Amino acid sequence: MLDIKEIRRDPERVAKAVGRRGKEIDMKPFLEADEKSRQITVKVEELQAQRNAKSKEIGTLKRNGENADALMQEVSAINEEIKKLEAAKEADEKIVHDFIISLPNMPDDSIPDGGEDDYEVQRTWGEPRQFDFDAKAHWDLGESLNILDFNRAAKVTGSRFVFYKGLGARLERALISFMIDMHTDKHGYTELIPPYMTNSTSDFGTGQLPKFAEDMFHLENTDYYLIPTAEVPVTNYHRDEILSEKDLPVKYCAFSPCFRSEAGSAGRDTRGIIRQHQFHKVEMVKLAHPDHSWEELESLTHDAEDILQALGLPYRVIALAAGDIGFSSAKTYDLEVWLPSYNTYREISSCSNFVDFQARRANLRFRDADGKVRFVHTLNGSGLAVGRTLSAIIENYQNADGSITIPEALLPYMHGYTEIR
């Protein structure tokens, strides 16, 4: 959520910045309602002062045995006027509130203008493998090796679900453990196992609600939503708290299943495990000092890259354009892994700095050395999307005979298995 004081101070700048996302913002309804609300506040305070003065007069008259009917009628009229004004103010405040929570974050000046195709490549790592045989897609290899079962998952639940089976399930578990161990032992994150359901206050805090309700699974007759990512419960872990400056940055990592309706993605990635309604992900979350959040974004991104490098998977890092970043983000780097079946790079992690946008919604604060309470900056990144990592391993480590070699980094987690065949 943007700072209302900043919007009031320079609405044109805010509109221009948010407009970089590709949608023009009409500030007029907000400005008019905000001004009316503040004018009503002044008027109500004046009327309350008049009412209080007259109430004292009434008390004096009654103590002296005099008639106070006329003054009592005036107080009653003032109360009615205050009631009408407060109703009007409430309506104006709703316009202001709804406008503010509908505004996305302002893109940082460092990111490019444009949309989905206007990203900037920051760096690449590794060389895509050149096969001397006809390489197969992970869904074909997974089914032929009996480690991925899409048909029975469709029978049991529906489309965009999968059973991991045998060594496929073991490989998925190995990846989760490897990623968590890397982030805790090498990168210094504290591991959390979060709830897989959150309430609407938590989802509002990270920006999922109210705008993206259709992308989430809501549990009927409850205030609970299945989490779309561990970002939601982990970012809200310190909601409504005041942290100490000396404890920043706070660094958490968490494995969780993720649940997404994939609204609006009909026809996209219908095969394989690239876009599922349920998938596993290891998430990194940071609560950072505002003076250091940009360097924390760089280190967060490198922590995600470390996983891909350890697994020997070619990838690139791109800076998303202003029209392609998420609702709450000020700047996002996507890590894209090379997938032979697509003959291109596909997203496997998004690493974002939300500055104080989520912190304002979730009331995440810290007390600085001078005793001043300020909002933290929040950051998060996938470290990594587990199913997409598994699909990248299957495709990049496949052999001519249809087997899959296990990356060396995962061997300690595979209990003696060096390949899947």
Active site residues per annotation: 260, 275, 347, 350, 388
148 within 8 A of 251, measured Cβ to Cβ: no
Joined together, the tokens standing for residue 64 give 């002296």
Q: Are strands 377-385 and 278-288 parallel, antiparallel or unpaired?
A: antiparallel
Q: Which amino acid does the sequence have at 281?
A: K
CA distance 120 to 111: 8
Give the SS3 label for residue 384: strand
Asked if 125 and 308 touch (Cβ cutoff 8 Å), the reply is yes
Angstrom distance (rounded) from CA 142 to CA 148? 5
SS3 content of the chain, % helix, strand, coil (to 5): 45, 20, 35
| CB 58 within 8 Å of CB 71 | yes
CA 378, CA 231: separation in Å to the nearest integer? 10
CA distances from 38 to 19, 30, 241 (A): 27, 12, 29
Q: Is 348 exposed, middle or buried (0-12, 13-18, 19+ CB in 10 A)?
A: buried
Read off the DSSP letter of residue 230. T
> What does DSSP say about strands 190-192 and 250-259: parallel, antiparallel, or unpaired?
parallel
Cα–Cα distance for residue pair 405/22, rounded to 1 Å: 45
Task: Decide: 166 and 146 in contact? Cβ < 8 Å.
Answer: yes
Burial class (CB in 10 A: 0-12, 13-18, 19+), 214: exposed
Distance CA 203, CA 223 (A): 10
Radius of gyration of the chain (CA): 27
Task: Find where tokens 């529906």 sit.
Answer: 158
